[in-house]
Amino acid sequence: MFDPQLALASGSSAPLGATLQQGGVNFSLHARQGDRLELCLFDALEDPEPAAVVAFSGEQHRSGSYWHGWLAGVAPGQLYGYRLPADPDCLLLDPYGLALAVPTGFDRQRGQRRAGGGGGWSGAMKSVVADLHAYDWEGDRPLQRPARETVIYELHVRGFTADSSAGVAAERAGTYAGLIDKIPYLQQLGITAVELLPVFAFDAQAAPAGLSNYWGYQPISVLAPHPAYARGSDPLAALNEFRDLVKALHRAGIEVILDVVYNHTAEGASTGAAAGPTLSYRGLAANDYYLLQSDGNGGQRDLDVTGCGNTLNANNPVVRRLIRHSLRHWVQEMHVDGFRFDLAAVLSRDEAGNPEPRPPILLDLDSDPVLAGTKLIAEAWDAAGLYEVGSFVGERWQEWNGRFRDDLRHFLKGDSGFAWLAAQRLIGSPDVYGQRGREAELSVNFITCHDGFTLADWVSYDGKHNGANGEANRDGTGDNASWNCGVEGPSQDPEVLALRGRQMRNALCLLLLASGTPMLTMGDEVGRSQSGNNNAYCQDNPTSWFDWTLVERQADLLRFTRELIAFRQRRDVVVDHDALSLADLLRRCAVEWHGVEPGQPDWGPDSHSLALSYTSAEHRFRMHVMVNAWWQPLRFTLPPTGLADGRWHRWIDTALPSPDDIATWAEVPPLPDHAYQVQPRSVVALVVRAGVG
């Protein structure tokens, strides 16, 4: 326990944060305001007053804008916060704090402010001193799987096991530990990486009244794991339980990619309708941390290109250092394998909010040696219209390919003018990335993600149904490129259900046969629905949770998805000089385009079909894919197999009932004819390989 009678030694300005050092802790903080800083130490989370207040003052404890001091006797688990003379009733969190403690009485509207009536700071969050070296990794390290071998599964830590149907122990439901219990399911599905929706400590109260911020895109800290996903009340539990999760996933051969938010914070705007609480950054150095502009009255207001009220000043040296430190922390101390950057185009804006051709922060990360083996994935757009898909700065960034989602959705639903665009998406989007000579794997392909319709809702709703969000259905995008297959919402019509199932299989098939890095969304493999809600950010309830009864009820769709993933990854598809997976073949094969007749593709505006053949370098394997997005059957003449005595074998036909919709690799049936009748709105994949006749 800290002895309040001990004096505060001068300490050091580096490293920032609360760092354990030889019997005590060095505290260092960047703050612009005032000539004095106070460190408040608490014995218990809900204590109304600190057990001790230690003052930083004068040159001994200040180097430029950095306040620092060393205290003996401070140990891991110590709760602390800061206050400045300019606002002594506000307890500020440490931007470099490694753990966060949140009291049950925290009130977002009050933020970190002292409550009257004797409440004091009992309802304020506190930073927590942590010892990162007291954990046994048992030899674990990031997996560094090549992008060409990667299949990403986007999931929500809480939502994956929060539902009672998950079958995990009650105290583990919705936690890091609960996700560990479901690793066998992920292994059986065949994915190689999980992309976790935000696990940085976030403000769960940033939502309409009566709802909660489920997605987590309101970060409070960029170093501390979200405490509510851990079990019990120990403020350090989240550190260990998150690392337990990473270690368990790595043992299963699954990488961990974090969805990270460096474009705004939970503090929201300083004034106006989007105003939020002062928690840390604004109180310490608002001019450094945020993009600000004149309010026309001699003051300043937040510049908002995120849709969340504020925008981090990512290319300010103070924020650049914080972002880089955060990423290095999650790689070195938490063994994370990669990051998906929310609204990453924001990071390319300068301090006036204008697009910067060579943004320092992005070049920093692109060349950082600690991050050299780490996956960096950009959501290359922002809420103010900056769209950088295909042009994101840097040599090694992967990108969420929003055009893949949009073009294939339009094509599969039967819209005119999308045949050529769909073809481009299937071969790695050379129209988007080809001029830069980039590998196809740098395109992260997806049909759905957390933001928008699920796969089941994409085939069940023409429009969004977001009334439960409390915003009169104004929130969420109105451009979904969706089709309800004839009935809006749930249906018992067998023909409607069959068509919806076929469309889901079509989308999964093209996603997993396309060149690039595929990403599936949690539950799409079993037809999870959100009842038409395409912006379920505030639905921490069964609307968003994984319904595990679907695993049995949608067993056929799950089997289809598993087989597709397994085929993509298996290494005995063909042997040329080396054993190659289907993913390898897709990136190396020669491609020929066809229409209903070989060598005669139709790219006209009224075309609703396409066909393409892949041939391996040694001509020992061919795959022929036919897509009929029209509402009538089409008879496709098949091209020659190119192999002596070879016959085409049917691997996939999404119009056939399970289990004939996808054959196992050992049982692909041969075709008796040189033509194939492709049924309306279906995908067919044929294969031929040496040694199979």
For the chain, residues classed under CATH 2.60.40.1180 are: 589-689
The predicted structure's pLDDT at residue 117: 87
Q: Would you say residue 578 has pLDDT above 60? A: no
pLDDT band at 573 (very low <50, low <70, confident <90, very high): low
pLDDT by residue (tens digit) across 642-680? 876 678 999 999 999 999 999 987 889 999 889 999 999
Q: Would you say residue 18 has pLDDT above 90? A: yes
Dist CA 95 CA 282 (whole Å): 11
The predicted structure's pLDDT at residue 440: 85
pLDDT band at 575 (very low <50, low <70, confident <90, very high): very low
The predicted structure's pLDDT at residue 441: 86
Catalytic residue among 181, 379, 382, 524: 379
pLDDT by residue (tens digit) across 421-479? 999 999 999 999 877 667 888 999 999 999 999 999 999 999 999 999 999 999 999 99
DSSP characters for 586-641? HHHSEEEEESSSTT----STT--EEEEEEE-TTSSEEEEEEEE-SSS-EEEEPPP-
For the chain, residues classed under CATH 2.60.40.10 are: 17-128
Q: Would you say residue 360 has pLDDT above 80? A: yes
Which fold, 17-128? Answer: Immunoglobulin-like (2.60.40)
Q: Would you say residue 357 has pLDDT above 60? A: yes
Q: Would you say residue 574 has pLDDT above 60? A: no
Tell me how crowded residue 495 is: count the other CB atoms within 10 A of its CB: 11
Share of the chain above pLDDT 70, in %: 95
The predicted structure's pLDDT at residue 140: 97
The predicted structure's pLDDT at residue 274: 85
Which residues, 6+ apart, have CB-to-CB distance to 515 below 8 Å? 426, 427, 428, 440, 443, 586, 587
pLDDT by residue (tens digit) across 176-232? 999 999 999 999 999 999 999 999 999 999 999 999 999 999 999 999 999 999 998
The predicted structure's pLDDT at residue 59: 86
DSSP characters for 421-479? HHHHHHTT-HHHHGGGT--GGGEEEES--SSS--HHHHTT-SS---GGGTSTT-SS-S-
Dist CA 621 CA 623 (whole Å): 7
Catalytic residue among 195, 203, 304, 342: 342
Share of the chain above pLDDT 90, in %: 85
The predicted structure's pLDDT at residue 645: 65
Dist CA 9 CA 345 (whole Å): 43
Which residues, 6+ apart, have CB-to-CB distance to 244 below 8 Å? 176, 177, 180
**Which helix H or strand E contains 682, and what residues bound it?**
strand 682-689
Dist CA 112 CA 91 (whole Å): 5
The predicted structure's pLDDT at residue 288: 96
pLDDT by residue (tens digit) across 589-607? 789 999 999 999 999 999 9
Q: Would you say residue 1 has pLDDT above 60? A: no
The predicted structure's pLDDT at residue 587: 67
What does the mean pLDDT of the chain come to? 94
Could you confirm whether 163 is annotated as catalytic? no
Is the pTM higher than 0.95? The answer reads yes
Which residues, 6+ apart, have CB-to-CB distance to 210 below 8 Å? 470
Average pLDDT of 332-359? Answer: 96
Q: Which residue has the higher pLDDT, 638 or 6?
A: 638
Which fold, 589-689? Answer: Immunoglobulin-like (2.60.40)
The predicted structure's pLDDT at residue 693: 46
Query: Running DSSP on this structure, what letter comes out for residue 115?
Result: B
Measured at the CA of 634, the angle between CA 631 and CA 639, to 5 degrees, comes to: 145
The predicted structure's pLDDT at residue 5: 56
Q: Which residue has the higher pLDDT, 74 or 665?
A: 74
The predicted structure's pLDDT at residue 395: 86
The predicted structure's pLDDT at residue 585: 64
CB of 225 closer than 8 Å to CB of 130: no
Omega cis (within 30) before 369: no
Could you confirm whether 342 is annotated as catalytic? yes
